[in-house]
Structure formats: structure tokens, C-alpha cells
Structure 1
């Protein structure tokens, strides 16, 4: 690896240069412009360093994945109804995007989903648990939202899926939600869990709660938790604007260009369960170890690139700085993390650390802030991490 001398990024004030050329006392309005980063000053390996144009969806699957990502920003997170859900969990790694039955994993045990919802436009599922990974037992809430072509199709698909789910086990009993009487729900009286299907306009909302902490099954508690989740979930969906039917086939995959400045995941070595994508809000929570939405509000985030790195763009420089101050690794390291040096040639707002597994370094992460961006990169190999981080710096500072 080539090693270059560290140097801070330079700022060029075009207006001041013009003023100096005319008269010392003349003031010309202008905007500070960051000098183009010289890739030769950083070791980027073979990583992409030129912003790319992602283009439009070329297949029906790409369109449905993209619609799922758009939808995700309006799918409620369990902790929004109850802060007791503290971490994202699942029985094994599975994606959030739902384009067929595989996206729902073990939430559905019947095999009729693909036939019933054959015209699914997209969907998203969030599963969160109480406590921590170290606990043996949890209270788990899964929320899945399925988008159909129109309200009539949702009104057909929702009850059909609930019927197949209900009849799969002969011990299931129907449950009525007082606040949402049109919701179809069921449970087994000897099991502390409930499944509820709600049709809301063109959406089918499926909530499943499993309470491993309950001494005995408590239906009142389970229905109350379900209703509180619907209280948050349904108003959010009203804010979503589905892609019009005549624009669905070739919709843009990166309309704001954030994905073009995000390193693409190597298709031969995918380390994330979900495909690369662009987000504007809640959907990006999948990538953060957090049980709140502070990063959205503090950082005033408007764009997130999700790929082989995570690129967060703020609406203002002040908000990006505030987000960095909150998540600066220098002040947030835990006992299971150890600081490591930043990549050669990179200074300023950057922090890197290794996650410790039984006291030994495991995967490593670098986080940096520049202009209106906060970026995270992760790798097992430190050299790879450094190259990836440097490449992302070039990408987000390129004009």
C-alpha cells in the first residue's frame, strides 16, 4: 500500500479570489466550494471513485424491490408504539424487502402467499425484540406492510391471507380488536402470540406478536399491543405516494443520486440481506444499531445510500455536524470496541474502531463526516476497510 502524507481538505472561496483580483476592499458574494479531492492522495485500491449513474429499473423484480424501498420509509417501527422493543431481531438473517413469500420468512407458515398475492407491488417487514441479544427470552413484534395495485385487490388479498393463516392450525381462535373491528385476528389460547391482518386502502398490514416473557397468555395485553402498533402504522401509510402504474415498469432506482455516491455491494460477496438501495427515512434504520429515530431528526436526513457502505446526507451542514457530534466514535465506543488509527491520508472528522469478540478484534468500522455527509464503512480486513473508506471520501466530495 502506498502511504501519503496526511493533509486536511482544502476550501476554495471563489468569491474572495475574485475580490482580491479587483480591489482589496471589494466584497463579492459567493459560496464556499470544496476543492476536488485528488484520488492520488488516498489509497483507494480497486474501489469505485467516480459517481455512477444507476439508471432505471430494467425488470419487474427491480421495480418491486425499488417500490419496497420507497414504501419502507413509511413503515412504522415497533419501538414507535412501545420503547420496550429495543433491538432489531429475527430468527436468523432475513431481508426486509418483501416481493414474495421468502421475504416474510417464518412469519407465515402456509404456502399460498405467492398465489394469493401474485400481483404484489412490494412490501417491507420490521421485526424488533425487547431486551438484548444476550437474553434468552424476548417479546417480539413483527410488522409487515404489503402494497397491492389498488384498494379492491387489498380487500381481497388481506382476508384470503388471514384465512389461510387461520386455518393452518386447528387450535386457532378468532379475535376481535375493539378499536379496529375490521381487522381479522386470531390466536391460540394456550400460546402467548397473536396474528392480525388489517386492510388499509391498497395496503395489507400484518402484525404478529410473540411474547416469550408472559407467565400466561394474556389476550388483553396482546390485542392492546396490536392496536397501539396500528395507531402508529396506519397514519404513516397515508403519507406514502405509490408509484403510478404507468411509471412503475421503468422507475428510477436512484432519483436523487445518493446511490451513485455509495459503493455498490459486491454481488459475489453480499454481506447484507437486502439489495442496495436509496432511502429517505425509516427504511435506513436497518443499518443502525439504534432504538430511536434521533439520527433522522438530529441529522435532518433527507437521503441515505445503502450499499457496501452507508452514506447519510443531511439537508444542512449544521445538521450533519450535529449528527457527527452525536455519533462520533471517539465519544461512543463501548467496552466491546477498540479504537484503531484512521486510513493513511485522512484527517478531520473520522473515527475507526474494531469490534471485539472474546477480546479479539473482529469486524472493523470507520465513520467520517464531511460537508453534509456522514459515512460508515465496515470490513473484516483493515486494509480493505481503509480503501473502502478512502474511496467513499472521494465519492462524496466529487463534483
Structure 2
């Protein structure tokens, strides 16, 4: 009987449930070829300068800046001919969409800003429509109400052919155009934000003010409610705000300043801002993957709230599925564990860059490099980073 009881107790012990989650065994960096790349998560810390604070605030703001295709599906291509930083901390961030030499003086207390420019056609098209939206964050609504009209006035007086335009649905906005040019620029103060929208139509046979106005109002209809959902960093926390509050950037390879893969600085995103550098004209990846954090550095690291959602996003992004004609599969890094696909991007039949995409646990990661050996080392190091404890 005692023997039977012992067997029964042992059997019962084997079926005992213990709450918790399975933890992946930490990856040994020596098991993969990681080169000299970082393999231990780092602590990024807080902003040390006003510029760092304004860059971080711009990244936070980006997740609430409406994208042109959300207002009009015709804008299906981010204008790669106009590749420039999305972050706006001074006049350089707006590039040539704003011809204004007083911006830095007028918006001297700018807390941050973000700009997107999308087109109705790709670079292979001779002409297309273009829509730019920039959102500037000021310290308060009073400053926005002063800065917006002043910037519009300086923009307006830059060319003697400019004429004022009224937006019927937004009568407080300031706008102008040149009757012989199919473009319009508008400035709208909304709470502490100034929203600049510029529409250029290279497809119009003749300039059509009604159509330009309609497109501007469509953009504002989507953009303004989104800004109401953004929570600006309080003034007393702005100076030393955390640059990586959830640690995702510490698990992302930092950009090599000598070989940056994109014009914007490294940062963390939770929404729309994460679309930069991605192919596509929709935000479905955010909901499909239930994305809560994205680290932008020398790799793109997407973190999902659940493993199931991360897997669903991998099923969509798996490079072996529906590759574009200019993508050619290449072998993954030697001895790489888990789900991965790699390819070369071709131009005129020659590889101009290479990319690997992999999935592990709650992460989907994209890594790019010009050299295949470099790609393999970066991909392996990034795998070690996201599986480190």
C-alpha cells in the first residue's frame, strides 16, 4: 500500500501546474559569427542635451502624425526622390517643401516636429501628385497661434505672385497659391500644434484650385483629430526625458555613424512613425503584429505583445513569400537558429544591397547591409541581442 501511495504521489506531482511563461535559453554569442558587433543589451539612458530631447519628442509625435494615404489612397508611395530626415528640429527638416529663411527665428522654441511626403507614383513615373504634411509642436496653444500665421505670412510674401486662399472647412487656416502653378500651401494652428500641408499636382493640365483645396481639407480632416490623442512630454520632464523607456533600443544594434542606412537618428516608435523605411502603404502590420514597440537603429526590431501576433506578422513578412522581381534569395547566416529569410536587392541585375528578416519569440527583425558577410554578422548579433536576458 505504501508503494502504491508513493507511486500515486509521484504521478500527482508530475501533473502539478506552475504559473509562468517559458523562457528561451540565452544564446551563446560564440555559437554564431557576430564579428565585432554588440551582443549585450545596453542602457541608453536619458537625454543629455536639448537637441536629444527635441529629437525624442519628435519621434513620439510621429506616431500621431497622419500619413497622406490615410486621407487619400492615391498617395501610395513615399517619395524616395525626396529622402530627407522626417524629424524637424529646425528649418533643415522641412527641406525644399518650405522656402522660408525666417523659420528658426519664428519657431525658436520648437519642441519637435515630423514631416512626411508621399506621391501618387513611383520614381519610374515622370510626373505624379505629391502631398507633404508637417506637424510642429510648440510649448502651448498661444505660441502655435502666433507661429502658424507668421510662418505662412513669410512663406506667402516670398513670391510676389502668391495669392491668399481660404479653406472653406477650415476658415482659420492660412493658405496661398500661385494661380499659374498647381500647388497650394496651408498653415493651421491646432492647440499647441502647427500643421503645414503642401499639395503639388504635376498631373493637372491646368491648375485647379478647387481640387487642391479639397485635397488639403481631406488631409486636415484626418490629421487634426489624431493630434488630440497625443500626450506631449510635460515641461518639467522635457529636459532629461528617457530615450528608451522600455529598453527596445538597447536591444537594437546602434547605427554606425560612418555608414547610416537612413537619414533619421536611432529611436523608438509605437505607431505610424515605424512605417519609415518599410515598403508598403498601409499600417496593417501594427494591428496584425499587435506591435507595441519598434527599435530603429542599424536594424529594425519589432516587438509584439504576444507570440501569436509576432508569428502572424512573420507569416506576412516571410521573404520566401511573394518576392518582388528585384529580390533574389540568398542563403541565411551559417548555423542560424529559427525562422529567417535573406535576399539581395537587384538593380539592372546586380545586387545593390542585402537584407535578412527573422522571427524569434515576440520579435520580428529586419537587418540590411551592402556586404553579405557584414549582413550575416549583423543578423547573428541582432539575434543574440533580442534573445539575451
TM-score category, normalised to shorter length: over 0.9
1:141 alignment counterpart? 131
Give the SS at the match of 1:225.
helix
Tell me the distance in 2 between the aligned counterparts of 1:107 and 1:358.
31
Cα shift at 1:132: 1.5
1:184 alignment counterpart? 174
2:247 alignment counterpart? 257
2:307 alignment counterpart? 317
Matches within 5 A, 1:142-221: 142-221=132-211
**CA RMSD after TM alignment:** 1.4
Matches within 5 A, 1:50-89: 50-89=40-79
Contact 2:268 2:293 in 1 (8 A): yes
1:15 alignment counterpart? none
Cα shift at 1:288: 0.3
Query: Which stretch shifts more, 235-244 or 83-92?
Result: 83-92
Cα shift at 1:37: 0.7
Q: Deviations over 1:297-343 (max 9, x none)?
A: 11111100001000000111111111111111000311111000110
Q: Deviations over 1:33-84 (max 9, x none)?
A: 1111111110000000000000000000000000000000000000000111
Cα shift at 1:283: 0.5
Matches within 5 A, 1:101-140: 101-140=91-130
1:377 alignment counterpart? 367
Tell me the distance in 2 between the aligned counterparts of 1:300 and 1:108.
36
Tell me the distance in 2 between the aligned counterparts of 1:25 and 1:238.
52
Tell me the distance in 1 between the aligned counterparts of 2:302 and 2:195.
29
Tell me the distance in 2 between the aligned counterparts of 1:57 and 1:278.
13
Correspondent of 1:345 among 335, 338, 361? 335
1:7 alignment counterpart? none
Unmatched 5+ stretches in structure 2: 1-8
* Change over 3 Å in CA distance of 1:341–1:119 after alignment to 2: same
Alignment coverage as a number of residue pairs? 381
Structure 1 runs of 4+ aligned residues shifted over 4 Å read 19-22
Residue 231 (structure 2) pairs with residue 241 (structure 1): yes
Q: Deviations over 1:198-244 (max 9, x none)?
A: 00000000000000011111111111111110011000000000000
1:270 alignment counterpart? 260
Q: Deviations over 1:218-272 (max 9, x none)?
A: 1111111111100110000000000000110000000010100000001222221
Correspondent of 1:302 among 265, 268, 292? 292
Cα shift at 1:22: 8.5
Give the SS at the match of 1:388.
helix
* Change over 3 Å in CA distance of 1:218–1:387 after alignment to 2: same
2:84 alignment counterpart? 94
Give the SS at the match of 2:226.
helix
2:280 alignment counterpart? 290
After TM superposition, the score normalised by the length of structure 1 is 0.93
Cα shift at 1:20: 8.3
Tell me the distance in 2 between the aligned counterparts of 1:251 and 1:98.
18
Q: Deviations over 1:95-130 (max 9, x none)?
A: 000000000000111200000000000000000000
Tell me the distance in 1 between the aligned counterparts of 2:10 and 2:85.
56
2:324 alignment counterpart? 334
Give the SS at the match of 2:105.
helix
After TM superposition, the score normalised by the length of structure 2 is 0.96
Give the SS at the match of 2:48.
coil
Tell me the distance in 1 between the aligned counterparts of 2:68 and 2:46.
32
Unmatched 5+ stretches in structure 1: 1-18
Tell me the distance in 2 between the aligned counterparts of 1:105 and 1:259.
28
